[in-house]
Amino acid sequence: MQSQLVFQEEKERERLRRQNLLLSQAEKPALEHFFKGKSELSVLDIGCNDGTRTFHRFSDDRISRVIGLEYNQQLVERANSQFGNTKFSFYQMDVDRDSFSADLQKLCAEPEDREFDLICLSFVLMHLYDGEKLLRTLKNFLKKGGVIFITESNDRISTLAPDEKNLLGQFLDILKEDKYAGKRETGQAVPGWLTNCGYDYIHVWCKEISAAKGEQQQKEDIFQTFFSYLPEDVEILLAEEPDNRKYQDWQNWLKKNYEELQQLILSEESEITMGMQILSCEKGSL
Protein backbone atom coordinates (compact mmCIF):
# COMPACT_ATOMS: atom_id res chain seq x y z
CA MET A 1 0.00 0.00 0.00
CA GLN A 2 2.79 2.41 0.92
CA SER A 3 4.63 1.73 -2.36
CA GLN A 4 1.41 2.45 -4.28
CA LEU A 5 1.02 5.78 -2.48
CA VAL A 6 4.62 6.69 -3.30
CA PHE A 7 4.04 5.76 -6.95
CA GLN A 8 0.90 7.91 -7.14
CA GLU A 9 2.71 10.81 -5.50
CA GLU A 10 5.54 10.56 -8.02
CA LYS A 11 3.03 10.50 -10.89
CA GLU A 12 1.36 13.62 -9.52
CA ARG A 13 4.71 15.38 -9.21
CA GLU A 14 5.51 14.52 -12.82
CA ARG A 15 2.10 15.76 -13.95
CA LEU A 16 2.64 19.05 -12.09
CA ARG A 17 6.12 19.38 -13.59
CA ARG A 18 4.68 19.06 -17.10
CA GLN A 19 1.85 21.43 -16.22
CA ASN A 20 4.31 24.00 -14.91
CA LEU A 21 6.28 23.87 -18.16
CA LEU A 22 3.16 24.44 -20.25
CA LEU A 23 1.85 27.25 -18.08
CA SER A 24 5.21 28.98 -17.85
CA GLN A 25 5.39 29.20 -21.63
CA ALA A 26 1.86 30.61 -21.85
CA GLU A 27 2.17 33.04 -18.93
CA LYS A 28 5.66 34.42 -19.54
CA PRO A 29 4.67 37.34 -21.85
CA ALA A 30 1.95 38.53 -19.47
CA LEU A 31 4.08 38.31 -16.32
CA GLU A 32 6.98 40.11 -17.98
CA HIS A 33 4.55 42.86 -19.01
CA PHE A 34 3.51 43.29 -15.35
CA PHE A 35 7.05 43.23 -13.96
CA LYS A 36 8.70 45.53 -16.51
CA GLY A 37 10.17 48.67 -14.95
CA LYS A 38 8.97 47.78 -11.44
CA SER A 39 10.63 46.73 -8.20
CA GLU A 40 9.80 45.73 -4.61
CA LEU A 41 6.66 43.95 -5.80
CA SER A 42 4.46 41.90 -3.48
CA VAL A 43 2.65 38.76 -4.67
CA LEU A 44 -0.20 36.67 -3.26
CA ASP A 45 -0.33 33.25 -4.94
CA ILE A 46 -3.56 31.38 -4.19
CA GLY A 47 -3.49 27.64 -4.84
CA CYS A 48 0.29 27.34 -4.54
CA ASN A 49 0.35 23.53 -4.16
CA ASP A 50 3.83 22.43 -2.97
CA GLY A 51 5.37 25.81 -3.80
CA THR A 52 7.45 24.65 -6.77
CA ARG A 53 5.66 26.73 -9.37
CA THR A 54 5.36 29.70 -7.02
CA PHE A 55 9.10 29.68 -6.41
CA HIS A 56 10.05 29.44 -10.08
CA ARG A 57 7.54 32.08 -11.20
CA PHE A 58 8.43 34.67 -8.60
CA SER A 59 12.15 34.29 -7.87
CA ASP A 60 12.61 37.40 -10.01
CA ASP A 61 14.63 40.11 -8.21
CA ARG A 62 11.87 42.64 -8.93
CA ILE A 63 9.68 40.79 -6.41
CA SER A 64 10.41 41.26 -2.71
CA ARG A 65 7.58 39.40 -0.94
CA VAL A 66 5.58 36.31 -1.88
CA ILE A 67 2.81 34.70 0.17
CA GLY A 68 1.44 31.36 -1.02
CA LEU A 69 -1.92 30.02 0.16
CA GLU A 70 -2.86 26.35 -0.11
CA TYR A 71 -5.77 24.29 1.25
CA ASN A 72 -3.72 21.13 1.86
CA GLN A 73 -1.60 21.36 5.03
CA GLN A 74 0.88 18.68 3.91
CA LEU A 75 1.62 20.62 0.73
CA VAL A 76 2.10 23.79 2.77
CA GLU A 77 4.62 22.04 4.98
CA ARG A 78 6.48 20.74 1.94
CA ALA A 79 6.50 24.21 0.36
CA ASN A 80 7.94 25.85 3.47
CA SER A 81 10.51 23.07 3.86
CA GLN A 82 11.73 23.41 0.27
CA PHE A 83 11.30 27.11 -0.46
CA GLY A 84 10.40 29.03 2.70
CA ASN A 85 12.69 31.98 3.48
CA THR A 86 12.48 35.71 4.17
CA LYS A 87 10.94 36.27 0.72
CA PHE A 88 8.69 33.20 0.34
CA SER A 89 6.20 32.02 2.97
CA PHE A 90 3.38 29.52 2.64
CA TYR A 91 0.20 29.10 4.71
CA GLN A 92 -2.80 26.79 4.94
CA MET A 93 -6.03 28.63 4.21
CA ASP A 94 -9.49 27.82 2.84
CA VAL A 95 -10.51 30.61 0.46
CA ASP A 96 -14.07 29.20 0.30
CA ARG A 97 -14.74 29.93 3.98
CA ASP A 98 -16.76 32.96 5.03
CA SER A 99 -13.89 33.89 7.34
CA PHE A 100 -11.32 34.03 4.52
CA SER A 101 -11.05 37.83 4.45
CA ALA A 102 -10.57 38.01 8.22
CA ASP A 103 -8.12 35.09 8.13
CA LEU A 104 -5.97 36.81 5.49
CA GLN A 105 -6.05 40.13 7.36
CA LYS A 106 -4.91 38.32 10.50
CA LEU A 107 -2.10 36.66 8.57
CA CYS A 108 -0.90 40.03 7.25
CA ALA A 109 -0.74 41.73 10.64
CA GLU A 110 0.58 45.09 9.44
CA PRO A 111 -1.92 47.19 7.43
CA GLU A 112 0.71 47.99 4.78
CA ASP A 113 1.18 44.25 4.17
CA ARG A 114 -2.50 43.63 3.41
CA GLU A 115 -2.38 44.84 -0.18
CA PHE A 116 -0.53 43.17 -3.04
CA ASP A 117 0.77 44.29 -6.43
CA LEU A 118 -0.12 40.94 -7.98
CA ILE A 119 -2.66 38.30 -6.93
CA CYS A 120 -2.52 35.00 -8.83
CA LEU A 121 -5.14 32.26 -9.03
CA SER A 122 -4.32 29.17 -11.08
CA PHE A 123 -7.12 26.58 -11.40
CA VAL A 124 -8.64 27.79 -8.13
CA LEU A 125 -12.00 29.28 -9.09
CA MET A 126 -13.06 26.05 -10.80
CA HIS A 127 -13.01 24.27 -7.43
CA LEU A 128 -15.02 26.85 -5.48
CA TYR A 129 -18.72 26.94 -4.71
CA ASP A 130 -18.82 30.67 -5.51
CA GLY A 131 -15.79 31.92 -7.44
CA GLU A 132 -17.31 35.35 -7.93
CA LYS A 133 -17.48 35.83 -4.16
CA LEU A 134 -13.72 35.28 -3.86
CA LEU A 135 -13.03 37.79 -6.63
CA ARG A 136 -15.08 40.42 -4.78
CA THR A 137 -13.15 39.73 -1.58
CA LEU A 138 -9.76 39.99 -3.27
CA LYS A 139 -10.43 43.57 -4.37
CA ASN A 140 -9.78 44.57 -0.76
CA PHE A 141 -6.28 43.08 -0.93
CA LEU A 142 -5.19 44.59 -4.24
CA LYS A 143 -3.10 47.74 -4.39
CA LYS A 144 -4.14 50.65 -6.57
CA GLY A 145 -2.86 49.75 -10.01
CA GLY A 146 -2.36 46.16 -8.89
CA VAL A 147 -3.28 43.20 -11.06
CA ILE A 148 -5.17 39.95 -10.58
CA PHE A 149 -3.87 37.17 -12.82
CA ILE A 150 -6.14 34.17 -13.44
CA THR A 151 -5.63 30.84 -15.21
CA GLU A 152 -8.63 28.54 -15.70
CA SER A 153 -9.72 25.68 -17.95
CA ASN A 154 -12.33 26.09 -20.66
CA ASP A 155 -13.10 22.68 -22.14
CA ARG A 156 -15.84 24.12 -24.31
CA ILE A 157 -13.27 25.01 -26.99
CA SER A 158 -11.08 21.89 -26.68
CA THR A 159 -10.63 19.93 -29.92
CA LEU A 160 -8.76 16.91 -31.29
CA ALA A 161 -8.32 15.86 -34.91
CA PRO A 162 -8.53 13.21 -36.15
CA ASP A 163 -11.02 11.80 -33.63
CA GLU A 164 -13.62 9.80 -35.54
CA LYS A 165 -15.06 8.18 -32.39
CA ASN A 166 -15.27 11.50 -30.51
CA LEU A 167 -13.14 10.06 -27.71
CA LEU A 168 -12.12 13.53 -26.58
CA GLY A 169 -15.76 14.57 -26.23
CA GLN A 170 -16.56 11.43 -24.24
CA PHE A 171 -13.54 12.02 -21.99
CA LEU A 172 -14.57 15.62 -21.33
CA ASP A 173 -18.13 14.50 -20.55
CA ILE A 174 -16.72 12.35 -17.75
CA LEU A 175 -14.57 15.22 -16.49
CA LYS A 176 -17.65 17.43 -16.23
CA GLU A 177 -19.08 15.05 -13.63
CA ASP A 178 -15.80 14.23 -11.84
CA LYS A 179 -16.11 16.12 -8.56
CA TYR A 180 -12.33 16.26 -8.21
CA ALA A 181 -11.81 17.82 -11.65
CA GLY A 182 -13.68 21.05 -10.89
CA LYS A 183 -15.93 23.09 -13.16
CA ARG A 184 -14.24 22.60 -16.49
CA GLU A 185 -15.68 25.63 -18.31
CA THR A 186 -14.84 28.20 -15.63
CA GLY A 187 -12.45 30.01 -17.95
CA GLN A 188 -15.34 31.07 -20.15
CA ALA A 189 -17.28 32.48 -17.17
CA VAL A 190 -14.44 34.45 -15.57
CA PRO A 191 -14.61 37.61 -17.75
CA GLY A 192 -18.26 38.06 -16.82
CA TRP A 193 -17.52 37.54 -13.14
CA LEU A 194 -14.77 40.15 -13.26
CA THR A 195 -17.12 42.64 -14.88
CA ASN A 196 -19.80 41.94 -12.26
CA CYS A 197 -17.24 42.54 -9.51
CA GLY A 198 -16.25 45.91 -10.91
CA TYR A 199 -12.78 45.09 -12.21
CA ASP A 200 -11.31 47.17 -15.03
CA TYR A 201 -8.87 46.56 -17.89
CA ILE A 202 -9.87 42.92 -18.31
CA HIS A 203 -7.46 41.38 -20.79
CA VAL A 204 -7.33 37.84 -22.19
CA TRP A 205 -3.71 36.82 -22.76
CA CYS A 206 -4.34 33.26 -23.86
CA LYS A 207 -7.40 31.18 -24.80
CA GLU A 208 -5.83 27.80 -25.50
CA ILE A 209 -2.79 25.57 -25.43
CA SER A 210 -2.30 23.59 -28.61
CA ALA A 211 0.02 21.21 -30.42
CA ALA A 212 0.21 20.83 -34.19
CA LYS A 213 1.40 17.93 -36.32
CA GLY A 214 4.85 16.78 -35.27
CA GLU A 215 4.99 18.72 -31.98
CA GLN A 216 5.49 15.57 -29.95
CA GLN A 217 6.92 17.04 -26.74
CA GLN A 218 4.10 19.56 -26.57
CA LYS A 219 1.60 16.73 -27.02
CA GLU A 220 3.26 14.72 -24.26
CA ASP A 221 3.03 17.70 -21.91
CA ILE A 222 -0.60 18.34 -22.84
CA PHE A 223 -1.53 14.71 -22.24
CA GLN A 224 0.19 14.60 -18.85
CA THR A 225 -1.39 17.90 -17.80
CA PHE A 226 -4.97 17.47 -18.96
CA PHE A 227 -5.58 13.72 -19.23
CA SER A 228 -3.35 11.68 -16.93
CA TYR A 229 -5.21 12.29 -13.67
CA LEU A 230 -8.66 10.90 -14.56
CA PRO A 231 -7.79 7.21 -13.98
CA GLU A 232 -6.58 8.10 -10.48
CA ASP A 233 -9.71 10.16 -9.82
CA VAL A 234 -11.95 7.26 -10.85
CA GLU A 235 -9.96 4.88 -8.66
CA ILE A 236 -10.49 7.17 -5.66
CA LEU A 237 -14.19 7.63 -6.42
CA LEU A 238 -14.73 3.87 -6.62
CA ALA A 239 -12.87 3.37 -3.36
CA GLU A 240 -15.34 5.81 -1.79
CA GLU A 241 -18.43 4.32 -3.47
CA PRO A 242 -17.68 0.81 -4.81
CA ASP A 243 -21.28 0.22 -5.91
CA ASN A 244 -21.72 3.49 -7.79
CA ARG A 245 -22.86 2.46 -11.28
CA LYS A 246 -21.72 5.70 -12.91
CA TYR A 247 -18.19 5.33 -11.57
CA GLN A 248 -18.14 1.71 -12.72
CA ASP A 249 -19.15 2.86 -16.21
CA TRP A 250 -16.34 5.42 -16.17
CA GLN A 251 -13.84 2.74 -15.21
CA ASN A 252 -15.07 0.52 -18.05
CA TRP A 253 -14.80 3.42 -20.49
CA LEU A 254 -11.21 4.04 -19.42
CA LYS A 255 -10.30 0.37 -19.82
CA LYS A 256 -11.76 0.37 -23.31
CA ASN A 257 -10.76 3.80 -24.63
CA TYR A 258 -8.07 5.53 -22.55
CA GLU A 259 -5.04 4.04 -24.32
CA GLU A 260 -6.61 4.65 -27.73
CA LEU A 261 -7.24 8.30 -26.81
CA GLN A 262 -3.63 8.62 -25.67
CA GLN A 263 -2.39 7.17 -28.96
CA LEU A 264 -4.59 9.58 -30.91
CA ILE A 265 -3.28 12.59 -29.01
CA LEU A 266 0.37 11.53 -29.31
CA SER A 267 0.21 10.47 -32.96
CA GLU A 268 2.44 12.31 -35.43
CA GLU A 269 -0.50 13.61 -37.48
CA SER A 270 -2.80 14.73 -34.67
CA GLU A 271 -3.66 18.32 -33.79
CA ILE A 272 -4.98 19.09 -30.32
CA THR A 273 -6.25 22.23 -28.63
CA MET A 274 -7.13 22.47 -24.94
CA GLY A 275 -9.06 25.49 -23.77
CA MET A 276 -7.18 27.38 -21.09
CA GLN A 277 -8.00 31.01 -20.38
CA ILE A 278 -5.29 33.30 -18.98
CA LEU A 279 -6.66 36.71 -17.95
CA SER A 280 -5.64 39.80 -16.04
CA CYS A 281 -7.59 42.71 -14.58
CA GLU A 282 -7.18 45.72 -12.31
CA LYS A 283 -9.27 46.98 -9.41
CA GLY A 284 -12.04 49.28 -10.62
CA SER A 285 -14.09 51.86 -8.77
CA LEU A 286 -17.16 49.74 -7.90
pLDDT < 50 positions in the chain:
1-7
Question: How much is the pLDDT for 25?
Answer: 82
Question: How much is the pLDDT for 6?
Answer: 34
Question: How much is the pLDDT for 11?
Answer: 67
User: What are the structural domain ranges in the chain?
Assistant: 2-37+115-282
Question: How much is the pLDDT for 55?
Answer: 94
DSSP sequence for the chain: -HHHHHHHHHHHHHHHHHHHHHHHHHHHHHHHHHHTT--SEEEEEES-TTSHHHHHHS--TTEEEEEEEES-HHHHHHHHHHH-SSSEEEEE--TTSTTHHHHHHHHS-SGGGS-EEEEEEES-GGGSS-HHHHHHHHGGGEEEEEEEEEEEE-GGG-EEES-TT-HHHHHHHHHHH-TTT--TTHHHHHHHHHHHTT-EEEEEEEEEEEE-TT-HHHHHHHHHHHTTTHHHHHHHHHHH-TT-HHHHHHHHHHHHHHHHHHHHHHSTT-EEEEEEEEEEEE----
Question: How much is the pLDDT for 245?
Answer: 98
Question: How much is the pLDDT for 4?
Answer: 33
Question: How much is the pLDDT for 155?
Answer: 96
d(Cα 157, Cα 210) in Å, to the nearest integer? 11
Question: How much is the pLDDT for 15?
Answer: 72
Question: How much is the pLDDT for 124?
Answer: 96
Question: How much is the pLDDT for 142?
Answer: 95
Rg (CA), the chain: 20
d(Cα 22, Cα 144) in Å, to the nearest integer? 30
d(Cα 41, Cα 39) in Å, to the nearest integer? 5
pTM: 0.90
Question: How much is the pLDDT for 214?
Answer: 93
Question: How much is the pLDDT for 9?
Answer: 63
